Structure 1
Amino acid sequence: MKTITRRAATFVTAGALGLGGLAVAAPALAGNGPFGPGPAGTATVSQPGRGPGMGAGYGDGTCLQLKVTTAQGTLTESQKVTLASMAQEEKLAHDLYAAFAARYDAVVFDHIATAETRHLDAVRTLLQRYGIADPTANQQAGKFTDPAVQATYDRLLAKGGTSLAEALAAGQQVERDDIAALRDAQAGLTAPDVKQVYANLLAASERHLTAFTRWSTR
């Protein structure tokens, strides 16, 4: 099982994400941390589905890819702030799951961490489109510019470090929080590209929550 963990980590580092039997090209994550300045142009968002190596009923919420090709719209200042916060939430999820993947023999963390990398790429594409500063650029793993996000990460990392059960519970909490935030963010939103990304992130988070919940009852 740990061999799978190490192999998945290698794919992420190299920028080639292997999911669902597909080798999906992804931009190299350059910069000082696991997430560099971010890709320009088109990004991809995972569609809900079942990932490999999970067993029947243990899908990780990632499968097909959907390009962000819908038209750009307009965002209010409040919606721009929310979009920037989404980048921090995706990074928090990735960094937390990557840390748990290194600690526990539970491949669910590897698969969902990989998905979060791709989700962040999509959010960063939107940040670039709308000229919004990326709060995750050049941030080391486990480091965040928002003190509240940093405190949440530190708390969940400590909680999940005590046992696999607690790590899975932390994953469930992250996904529940993401679902609530994405639902709130959709209210009054008109920009087609942002609506598309939020809808797909919401579907993925629901699948991730299901995966963590099922793993917790194995």
Structure 2
Amino acid sequence: MKKSSLLHILILITLLIIIPASGVGQGYGIQFQGNQNITLPEPQDYNLSDIERSDLLFMRQEEQMAHDLYMVWYEKYSIPIFRNIAEAETTHASEVQFLLDRYQVPSDMIGNLSSGYNNQEIQALADALVEQGAQSLTDALKAGVAIEETDIADLDKAIANTTRPDIIQIYTNLRNGSENHLSAFTSQLS
């Protein structure tokens, strides 16, 4: 009986792994796992406008910056909110990276906190916020609020700059995540 039960459990686990993986990428593009589970429509064409290309690169760097700063503050203050939101930012960066890859936009110059960011606006923001967050836990939480408010405003602009359903879907997903992050940081400050 024990062997039979163990066999049934192994079969169920195998099916739980194989069945969801077999559906990824069929029909409408990619599905993101983790906090997000979305299916993207295929684009009618792959010719981005200059502003769409620029927005994708900017958003990818902004998501990377958020991740990097949250990890710095997690290491300094050891509170889970920074680690948890950093993990979500990794998912967000992956979603934008998928779009960059889909539209064949070179993204080898994204950078990170230790090497520097390609976009000078992102670099200046990172420099200011990393310094702010080093002052105290409260200042780091306030810097987290600033990151998320900036991200929401930038996503609103990027959404207005495209009519592509797949890009709008990713940006909307990122915006919803940023709203959740903003709420989490705000509640920590209350």
TM-score (structure 2 length as normaliser): 0.77
- Quick one: structure 1 residues 136 and 104, their matched pair in 2 at CA, closer, same or farther if it must change by over 3 Å? farther
Residue of structure 1 in register with 2:37 after alignment:
66
- Give unmatched runs, 5+ long, in structure 2: 1-28
Distance 1:140 1:177, change over 3 A: closer
Specify the alignment match of 1:77 in structure 2. 50
Q: What CA deviation, in whole Å up to 9, does each residue of 1:107-133 have, x standing for no partner?
A: 100000000001101100100111111
Q: Where do 4+ consecutive residues of structure 1 move more than 6 Å? A: none
User: Aligned AA for 1:164?
Assistant: L
Instruction: Report the residue type matching 1:201 in the other structure.
Output: L
Greater RCO between the two (CA within 8 Å, min separation 6)?
A: 1
Q: Structure 1 residues 85, 45: closer, same or farther in 2, change over 3 A?
A: farther
Aligned to 2:164: 191
Q: Secondary structure at the residue paired with 1:67?
A: coil
Partner Cα distance (1:86, 1:68) in 2: 20
Bigger radius of gyration among the two: 2
The yes-or-no answer on 1:131 pairing with 2:119 is no
1:109 is matched with 82
Distance in 2 of aligned mates of 1:179 and 1:135: 25
Which residue number in structure 2 is paired with residue 216 of structure 1?
Answer: 189
User: Is 1:96 paired with 2:69?
Assistant: yes
Distance 1:144 1:43, change over 3 A: farther
Are the counterparts in 2 of residues 82 and 185 from structure 1 also a CA contact under 8 Å?
yes
Residue 151 of structure 1 corresponds to 124
The 8 Å contact of residues 88 and 135 in structure 1, kept in 2 or not, is answered as no
More helix by share: 2
1:177 equivalent to 2:165? Answer: no
Residue aligned with 2:60, SS: helix
Counting matched residue pairs gives: 159
* Offset at residue 140 of structure 1 (A): 4.5
Q: Please list, as runs of the form range in 1=range in 2, the aligned pairs for 1:21-32 lying within 5 A after superposition.
A: none
* One-letter amino acid of the counterpart of residue 168, structure 2: K
Structure 1 residue ranges without an equivalent (≥5): 1-40, 47-62
The structure with the greater share of residues assigned to strand is 1
**Aligned-residue CA RMSD (Å):** 1.9
Distance (Å, rounded) in 1 between the aligned partners of 2:156 and 2:74: 28
Matches of 2:30 and 2:109, distance apart in 1: 19
Deviation at 1:166, TM superposition (A): 0.2
